[in-house]
Structure 1
Amino acid sequence: MAYFLVAVATKENLKKCIETNLAGFTGSINGYWALVDIEIGDYVSFLHGARVYNLYRVEDKVAIKNPDEIGPWRPIKLPSGREYSFPFRLLLRPIRQLSESMVRPEFAYIAENLLLRGGYRKTHFQADEVTLHNVSVMGNPSEGEFEKLAHEGIPFTPKIAFSKDLVNPPEVFPMREVILQSLLRKALERGFLRNVLETFGLEGNPEDFEVLGEKALPSGHVDLLIKPKHPIGIVPKILIEVKMGSAGNTELGQLGRYISESGPETVGGILIARSFKRNIKRVPGIRLWGYSFRGINQDATYTYPELLEKLTLEEV
């Protein structure tokens, strides 16, 4: 279970999201990333104009071929001339009604991310479980019975390709770093987190820790953050930097700076890459992990769950 704030660009679109209990994402790589990154059973709120609106549970998610025919969002046209529809959708169960300013201290985790990165510029932002607990007592419970929405439109299953010749958005997307980061976050949660905690000498059950998406720091954005869900007294943290290709001393130095900036409670970091350059140094407190996908065919396409099943991690 995770909690996300879904960025909505306009007031008109926000109204449509609230009226229909839907979250919609464009047929871009970022829209696809939102669809696969947010799971059924996760919680979301809408984020618009420095305010947080409502709390929902994700009941289902779908990709449809004919979004313009059924709405509720009109296609958007970028200055480049490229036009995007909204084929990727989350079906939401209303939990609480609220409209709260982001300046509240309860939103400090996500507000700091937005401040340091200079604005939204993303489809969604993951908040920690403490923020979810805070939001769960804001506003009022949603009224009335919820009837699960039926899928409208013609559904399809978007896939990922490792060969650019197979790419055909929104049906087939190329592998990108945001997709890899999402896969790694879930792989850590589902099987590798215990190894990580033992590596850095952290006591406790893996269930007591959470793996969060991108965390903003003064000099940049670390890709993944591991921390206790409900810290008491101290907040031990592990930072993870992800590179799709080969990593070397430059990436190692970048992760080292992030560790220094994140404060004395950070116990170490992990640099994850497909391969590492021969001259890469060994730095105390930073581990090197290689990733791979078992049995990948460059001439095939894969669903996100298939890639998650094939993903492996190994310390180098």
Structure 2
Amino acid sequence: MADYFLVSISNRQNLELCMEYSMAGFTNSINGLWTFFDIEVGDYISFLYGARAWNLYRVIGKAAYRNAEELPPWPPITFRSGRTYSFPFRLFLRQEREFSEPMVRREFSYVAENLLLRGGYRKTHFQADTITFYNVSEMGTPYSGKPSYPELDGETFEPKIVFKRENRTIPEKFYFRELILQSLIRKKLKDTILSEALEFFGIDHPPEEFEVLGEKALPEGYVDIFIKLRHPRGTNKYLLAEVKTGKAGKKDLRQLRGYTEEYGAEAAGGILIARDFPRRLYDKGILPVRYHFEGLDPSEEYSYGELLKMLRLEVDG
């Protein structure tokens, strides 16, 4: 099933360009790459600006461009730090519905809570749940116009991930970061260890009744992956997952335990995913899961799709 995201827009001019050209662009930063990887062809997005959600689009294509600073419609942008970014990562969109709705509507409560607890838009995109997507699909009016894309004559490339810092050449090659791992695990988890996790926590629902969502803000922080019933009836069941690129420790265990306690009775437990665990790390409310990339050579470079195929998740012990 397709996912639904709200994509943060930094200013009114960029919003107007996105809507005029039915396109979303992301900077040559790790956050821009993460967004480009996380949102797939077939997913749906709305733009998020001025505490409002703007229109509903389906992603019909994506591409990364070299020399993006020379391509329309976004000029390079320089921040106070002095760093200048271009927009090499592009999503091509087809508009489905036309609306401008305030985020205070109860239909946006899942995403609005994330915005409030994070203190605003300091994130490139927010994944919404299925209920939000169903509500948005009835907002405003259907759109029957045709998309108008700018002419892009630049050379395209496939972004790669490297595991040695000296091999990175941005924007073509980025060093492996936790954000990328979180995205990969989110897409892999449901078809691998979710059924074992449900059995471990004594949850009497099949995996297909759950949705695996991205980062979820909490009063004391945020969890990397949030798992919940797609269509709860009466009560919900939550699993909270934390992802660590390296070795997990007792601090990570305590942090995740604290997050599950914040959710109270509906939180069935936590999943701690890491490359390795100490020998005596144990908590009956936390399921430890190891990850690795089968056949990975740290000196080589890999596409996102290649890493997704290589990723293995195994319940520890």
TM over 0.5: yes
The 5 Å alignment of 1:105-116 reads 105-116=106-117
Q: 2:284 maps to what in 1?
A: 284
Matches of 1:125 and 1:229, distance apart in 2? 17
Paired AA for residue 305 in structure 2 = P
- In structure 2, relative to structure 1, the CA distance for the partners of 1:208 and 1:132 (3 Å cut) is same
Q: Contact conserved, 2:159 with 2:303, CA < 8 A, in 1?
A: yes
- In structure 2, relative to structure 1, the CA distance for the partners of 1:59 and 1:151 (3 Å cut) is farther
| TM-score, structure 1 normalization | 0.96
Q: 1:234 maps to what in 2?
A: 235
Paired AA for residue 211 in structure 2 = E
Deviates more, 1:66-75 or 1:113-122: 66-75
Q: 2:303 maps to what in 1?
A: 303
The 5 Å alignment of 1:23-62 reads 23-62=24-63
CA RMSD in angstroms, aligned pairs only:
1.5
Q: 2:172 maps to what in 1?
A: 171
Deviation of 1:145 after TM superposition, in Å, equals 4.2
Q: 1:194 maps to what in 2?
A: 195
Matches of 2:147 and 2:190, distance apart in 1? 30
Paired AA for residue 153 in structure 1 = G
Q: Contact conserved, 1:248 with 1:279, CA < 8 A, in 2?
A: no
Residues 234-254 of structure 1: per-residue CA shift (max 9 Å, x gap): 110101011111111110000
Structure 1: 5+ residue stretches without partners: none
Matches of 1:151 and 1:203, distance apart in 2? 51
Deviates more, 1:196-205 or 1:220-229: 196-205
Residues 194-215 of structure 1: per-residue CA shift (max 9 Å, x gap): 3332332323332221100010
SS in 2 for 1:259: helix
Residues 103-128 of structure 1: per-residue CA shift (max 9 Å, x gap): 11111000101111111111111110
Q: 1:154 maps to what in 2?
A: 155
The 5 Å alignment of 1:125-140 reads 125-140=126-141
The 5 Å alignment of 1:197-212 reads 197-212=198-213
Structure 2: 5+ residue stretches without partners: none
Q: 2:253 maps to what in 1?
A: 252
Q: Contact conserved, 1:62 with 1:151, CA < 8 A, in 2?
A: no
SS in 1 for 2:257: helix
Matches of 1:157 and 1:148, distance apart in 2? 21
SS in 2 for 1:126: strand
- In structure 2, relative to structure 1, the CA distance for the partners of 1:149 and 1:92 (3 Å cut) is farther
Count of residue correspondences: 315
Matches of 1:97 and 1:213, distance apart in 2? 26
Residues 274-303 of structure 1: per-residue CA shift (max 9 Å, x gap): 1112342x2122111111111111110000
Q: Contact conserved, 1:22 with 1:89, CA < 8 A, in 2?
A: yes
Q: 1:64 maps to what in 2?
A: 65
Matches of 2:193 and 2:98, distance apart in 1? 37
Q: Contact conserved, 1:224 with 1:240, CA < 8 A, in 2?
A: yes
Matches of 2:95 and 2:201, distance apart in 1? 40
- In structure 2, relative to structure 1, the CA distance for the partners of 1:13 and 1:303 (3 Å cut) is same
SS in 2 for 1:244: coil
Stretches of 4+ aligned residues off by more than 4 angstroms: 145-152
- In structure 2, relative to structure 1, the CA distance for the partners of 1:202 and 1:279 (3 Å cut) is closer
